[in-house]
Chains A and B, each alone.
Chain A
């Protein structure tokens, strides 16, 4: 049957379809990774890249915590401290969390919907490799005159208008990462809409695919707006425009509006795929189907839609009319409804299930517990008068680390342990996995729980020095942070050990797991579903 293929269709994509017998694994060596168009290879690249960025951003965070271990200036000067907080945020958001979820999407979405590969395999390669120059620009910016940008990860004007060339490098890096995200999203939407196996209707799709479909739409809606905002900053800096320059008739507060129009959907972009992963894992280890599948789909969509009309809750102190403050307060609180639907559905899924507590399940339950705490502090911050008190304090730092670390990151750990047997063909070391979980969850709380108290007591964020009464909680947080950082080396060890060997994993290593990915052998062959499976 391959003989009838027209000549120009002989690229990897058509290839993946036709020639079964003289088929081959990947070419060997470094060039395999540079030229690959295989969704599994690209998924692996994304995951390793984001882990490297996670360690980089983590090193910055530990330098911050070392400085904050006691009052006074010990290790870094204030200018460099501001660069650390800024780059920690940018690297973790754009370099670690977002690419990691794209890595999961690359590996899992074709396997879950029975597609042979992503829709645009070459664009897929490009969207990954764009990340490498972008990350390099960010790292290089530490070594240019004036250092990296210190305007905060939000890059508010007028600070961002006044920074040195480190700011330009950060803007270019974000442009490139944005382009990469948009291409990745287009790829995911097209794959999900056009390439599902026969019988795989949208409402039969695994939740992970649903959450990524919605996330992708959000990405192509808001990443271009961020690109616009930082382009305006760039032209303000170099081409004499005055979008955010008050002296020229512009308005720095407008930057905040445009940024958060991107920024608030962005926080859901970073959590919806985590919801998807947890929605795969909880049913598998509770040995029950997901409770309220349809309501999960609608809840995810509602969160996505609501996320576009709440952005100004980041700006309650900028002098908004009272009607605006009330609108954004109530709209923000409304998001708790669909989020609550999801949390209760997960709990209902576990209710009377035959639960076992392997590492993926531990991380998934840990996610629900700690993420919900972050959700509650979010609800508290949504109340305008309270927010005005807590604006830019450590309470906010505690809040978003509860949802981003305990939310997104824990869900990703859960996902890695859950699918690692499928990816590598080996079972991971359960002892290392459990050790990693308990260390992570204990030290995470040791790091971030005291920050609530610091914030309530009035300690501002983004400062290298603080008043003596904050010393004890800061010392506790710093000890927690170093232990949390070291705990991640357990994760690295567990993954490397699993890649190198270990007990042979069955095609379906988890008794209660459902889905097409468990119908292919472990490790998943280089090409899967060249003939689409039939879904009943």
Chain B
């Protein structure tokens, strides 16, 4: 009899071990999935997955030419377009290489939406190649709703290679009517 009891004991013993090991197996399967939120958290804390660069300061421009200043004048026109368009700054004296932001204001005086496109021009014209715009409303067409007012930034740098002789640059924008719906009619 004792022999049989021993065998049954041994089997119960083995089943106990089996159950414990199965629990470890299941826990480790869950652990694999628990690594997902854990990984996200680690990346957040250490900042390793910050691919869009948010939160990191913009790198300072180390190539500013501090030996001279250039005066930049801002001009704004609308060509047969019932828009009020003006720079918020008339003029600035800046170092070449210095990152600068200025604002322009545009108001649509018509009773319907109008689409316009701004075209820049430079004086003297040689300065155009050295006037680097990083952001400008002139890159795309702009649509303003009836009586809407918008502020647009222009971010630019003047290349440090600009000729020494040029001390003043005039940047002039002209807005053109794209669809022909915003034209100011000549008074009859």
Residues A182 and B39 in contact in the complex (CB < 8 Å), given A9-B7, A120-B14, A258-B32: no
Are the CB atoms of A222 and B4 closer together than 8 Å? no
Contacts of B28 in A (CB 8 A): 220-225
Contacts of A120 in B (CB 8 A): 14, 18
Are the CB atoms of A257 and B14 closer together than 8 Å? no
Contacts of B32 in A (CB 8 A): 224-229, 258, 261
Most A CB within 10 A of own CB, among B8, B17, B25, B49? B25
Minimal beta-carbon separation of B21 from chain A (angstroms): 5
B-binding residues in A (CB < 8 A): 1, 4-6, 9, 13-14, 17-18, 119-120, 182, 185-186, 189-190, 193-195, 220-229, 232, 243, 251, 254, 257-258, 261, 319-321, 324
Minimal beta-carbon separation of A256 from chain B (angstroms): 10
List residues of B (1-33) whose CB comes within 8 Å of A's CBs.
Answer: 1, 3-4, 7-8, 10-11, 13-14, 17-18, 21-22, 24-26, 28-33
CA distance A374 to B13 in the complex (A): 42
Are the CB atoms of B14 and A17 closer together than 8 Å? no
Are the CB atoms of B36 and A221 closer together than 8 Å? no
A-binding residues in B (CB < 8 A): 1, 3-4, 7-8, 10-11, 13-14, 17-18, 21-22, 24-26, 28-33, 35-36, 39, 43, 46, 48-49
Contacts of A221 in B (CB 8 A): 24, 28
Residues A251 and B48 in contact in the complex (CB < 8 Å), given A4-B3, A222-B28, A258-B35: no
Are the CB atoms of A225 and B29 closer together than 8 Å? yes
Minimal beta-carbon separation of B164 from chain A (angstroms): 44
Residues A257 and B35 in contact in the complex (CB < 8 Å), given A319-B48, A320-B48, A321-B46: yes
Most B CB within 10 A of own CB, among A1, A13, A228, A258? A228
Are the CB atoms of A261 and B10 closer together than 8 Å? no
Which 8 pairs show the lowest CB-CB distances between chains A and B? A228-B32, A224-B29, A224-B28, A225-B32, A190-B17, A186-B21, A119-B14, A254-B39
Partner of A194, one of B14, B25, B33, B46: B14
CA distance A336 to B69 in the complex (A): 63
Contacts of A5 in B (CB 8 A): 3-4, 7
CB-nearest residue of chain A to B31: A225
CB-nearest residue of chain B to A9: B7
CA distance A228 to B46 in the complex (A): 25
Known: A221-B24, A226-B32. 8 other contacts (CB 8 A): A13-B11, A119-B14, A224-B26, A228-B29, A228-B32, A229-B32, A261-B32, A321-B48
Are the CB atoms of B26 and A243 closer together than 8 Å? no
- Can you list 17 A-B pairs with a CB-CB distance of less than 8 A? A1-B3, A4-B1, A4-B4, A6-B4, A6-B8, A13-B11, A193-B17, A220-B25, A225-B29, A228-B29, A228-B30, A228-B32, A257-B35, A258-B35, A261-B35, A321-B48, A324-B46
